[in-house]
Structure 1
Amino acid sequence: MSTQSLTTRKPVDWHRIGAWALIVLALVVTIFPFLWMLRTALSSNHSLASNTANLLPADFSLGAFKRVFGLQTTEEAIADGGSGGAIDFWLYLRNSILFATVTTACQVFFSALAAYAFARLRWPGRNKVFAVFLATLMIPGIFTALPNFLMIKNLGLLNTFAGLTLPFLFMSAFAIFFLRQFFMSMSREVEEAAMLDGAKSLRIFFQIVLPNAVAPMTTLALLTFIGQWNEYFWPLLVGNDESIRVLTLGLSIFKSQSPQGAPDWTGLMAATLVAAVPILILFLAFGKKVVNSIGFSGIK
């Protein structure tokens, strides 16, 4: 056998194999909780405790989803292994959508105005004020909860939609920083031409800057919406009335309704999965835009 016929084997790239192994492990760790939630939601409460090691649903049943959507009576829910507790899912879903949408729209708009002022307008103490805004990022939200609660209480806005949304309606430090980075990267030529034609700052902002900032503002709106959708502590403080109760708080109350001694785990997992569907859809639709916009704004 000649030496020319021997094939040269490439050395095993252990670094590449190790990297792929870590990626697969990270995917498993990330996805497994969702699969376990789905498995629990499709199980029967009667069989759940005796089949803890099985990855497939224990005694497959859609009863949990029926309880979430209000398609079961109390007697049917108890017979199916549920707690018998009720959850007004559609009301809580409507409140969550209204709360997240209103606060997101207002916060993004006012933050864009502030970011434009920090990026383009020249006024005394601009950089110092911006540094103060950035410093607020280091203050935990729990520190401002009590002052905000006292303010809402003194205004008589407890258990109202206004009291629920008011602390989130205006600017946030992260949103201002995020948009300011983008505005500073924009070319000034078009704005300077508009100024020569007599356009004022507000007209330039609405007619020139905003149309060119659709991508980062969409990304910021998505991130803000997700944060507001998952908000729990503030609605717990000011929104005890069922008419303005959001979905995160409703799920917690649903878990605590356990007259039979144990929480309705299958119903809770079903409700949690349904509540997560809008966020998953948003991430699937705009996930790439989020990553690209964050990287772009952070580099500039």
Structure 2
Amino acid sequence: MRTRRLSPGRILAWIYLAVILVVTVFPFYWILRTALSDNYALLGNPSSLLPVDFTWGPFARVLGLASAEESIAEGGSGATLDLGRYLVNSIVYATASTFLIVLFSLLAAYAFARLHWRGRDLVFSLFLAALMVPGILTLLPNFVLVRDLGLLNTFAGMILPYGLFSAFNIFFLRQFMLGLSAETEEAALIDGAGRVRILFGITIPMTSGPITTLSILGFIGMWNDYFWPLLVTTDESVQPLTLALAVFKQSSPQSQPDWAGLMAATLVAALPMLLLFMVFGRRIVNSIGFTGLK
């Protein structure tokens, strides 16, 4: 069997990949190592690569399974995190936002890709210009709008400003639709089918790959969103899990935060998204690559 020679270029490439892998994975390992450590013991040996005085206590504190005395004994604050409530809030926020973003992006992309109307290209250029506007510039106008509508501390206030428009999603879906054969849709039009029926009966099934990709990426983005919910919510009944982590950190009465408990909470919050990306990661990469060829 023929073997490949290890050229200097190949060796450098493998070294580069190994470095990138270590840099990417190490923060997740450090989170896990800290989450399995005793918070008091961490002060004495903060640079240890292994868990310091191994314990499941931080996870018990986050999940509300530890008493206040057990928590304080391991360097915790005695505070607990209502994980179930915040988890439900994050699911509602991420799911509803993702559904609206993908739905309205589909409608707009179909209008730009299949319908012919005056000023279409000009309007699409304006949509593309929105990609150049940093998101931070829209925070204040959106906040003022939500406040004036009386939607502070509501799911509607968190969801609607970013659930109705996404320039990237529209561009992404339009590029894919332009590459689809229009013959099937034209045949359906001749048979008397309307545009709405064609969209939901023909175009959307043919665009299931990009739709899945945008749904996963959108869900992950909404799940990890922090700054916008921080601006428009102060009520724990609607705050997502990302804000709960900040509350958990600030609830420590000691001078030293409960880093072990905080890392355990961070791991619990990030684990669903990591599993989601591990399962659908290949589909996301393939769909983006295929769309980029259009």
TM range (shorter): over 0.9
SS at match of 1:234: helix
2:19 alignment counterpart: 25
Q: How far 1:50 moved relative to its partner?
A: 1.3
Residues 116-139 of structure 1: CA deviation (Å, up to 9, x unaligned): 000010001111111111111111
Give the aligned partner of residue 69 of structure 1.
63
Q: Deviations over 1:198-249 (max 9, x none)?
A: 1121111011101111111000100111110111111001111010011111
Q: Contact 2:38 / 2:52 at 8 angstroms: preserved in 1?
A: yes
1:289 shift after superposition: 0.4
2:95–2:219 Cα contact (<8 Å) kept: yes
Q: What secondary structure does 1:138 align onto? A: coil
Residues 171-205 of structure 1, C-alpha deviations (whole Å, 9 max, x = no match): 20000001001100000110110111111211110
Q: Tell me if structure 1 keeps the 8 A contact 2:225–2:242.
A: yes
Match of 1:16 in 2: 10
Q: Tell me if the contact between 1:110 and 1:171 (Cα under 8 Å) persists in the aligned partners.
A: yes
- Work out which of the residue numbers 88, 101, 105 in structure 1 matches 2:95: 101
Q: Give distance in 1, aligned partners of 2:137 and 2:265.
A: 31
- Partner residue, 2:246: 252
Out of 247, 271, 282, the position equivalent to 1:288 is 282
Aligned Cα RMSD in Å?
Answer: 1.3
Hey, what does 2:145 align to over in structure 1? Answer: 151
One-letter identity of the residue aligned with 2:31: M
Check conservation: 1:108, 1:171, Cα contact below 8 A.
Answer: no
Displacement after TM superposition at 1:74 (Å): 2.1
Question: Which of 184, 195, 198 pairs up with 1:201?
Answer: 195
Are residues 1:129 and 2:123 paired? yes
State the distance in 2 between where 1:148 and 1:68 align.
33
Q: Which has the larger radius of gyration?
A: 1
Compared CA separation, residues 12 and 161, structure 1 to 2 (3 A): closer
Higher mean C-alpha deviation, range 86-95 or range 112-121: 86-95
Contact 1:114 1:171 in 2 (8 A): no
In the alignment, structure 1 segments of 5+ residues that lack a partner are 1-8
Pick the aligned partner of 2:175 from 154, 172, 181. 181
Q: CA separation in 2, counterparts of 1:171 and 1:215?
A: 20
Q: What secondary structure is seen at the aligned counterpart in 2 of 1:16?
A: helix
Tell me the secondary structure at the aligned position of residue 131 of structure 2: helix
Q: Which amino acid aligns with 1:88?
A: D
The aligned runs of 1:201-280 (5 Å cut-off) are 201-280=195-274
Q: Which runs of 5+ in 2 are unaligned?
A: none
**Letter paired with 1:259:** P
| Aligned AA (2:202) | I
Check if 1:91 corresponds to 2:85. yes
Aligned twin of 1:120: 114
Q: How far apart in 2 are the matches of 1:30 and 1:11? A: 29
Separation in structure 2 between the aligned mates of residue 112 and residue 123 of structure 1, nearest angstrom: 17
In 2, Cα distance between equivalents of 1:241 and 1:73: 25
CA contact (8 A) 2:109 2:171 kept: yes
TM superposition score normalised by structure 2? 0.97
Query: Once the 2 structures are TM-superposed, how far is the Cα of residue 11 of structure 1 from its aligned partner?
Result: 6.5
- 8 Å CA contact 1:83–1:262 kept in 2: the answer is no
After superposition, residues 31-46 of structure 1 pair within 5 angstroms as 31-46=25-40
Distance 2:71 2:194 in 1: 63
* Per-residue Cα deviation, 1:74-112 (whole angstroms, up to 9, x for no partner): 222111210223321111111001100011011101100
CA distance in 1, matches of 2:94, 2:250: 25
1:122 and 1:71, CA in 2 relative to 1: closer, same or farther beyond 3 A? Answer: same
Aligned to 1:5: none
Q: Which runs of 4+ in 1 moved over 3 A?
A: 9-12
User: Mean Cα displacement is larger for which, 74-83 or 94-103?
Assistant: 74-83
Q: Distance between the aligned counterparts of 2:74 and 2:48, measured in 1?
A: 20
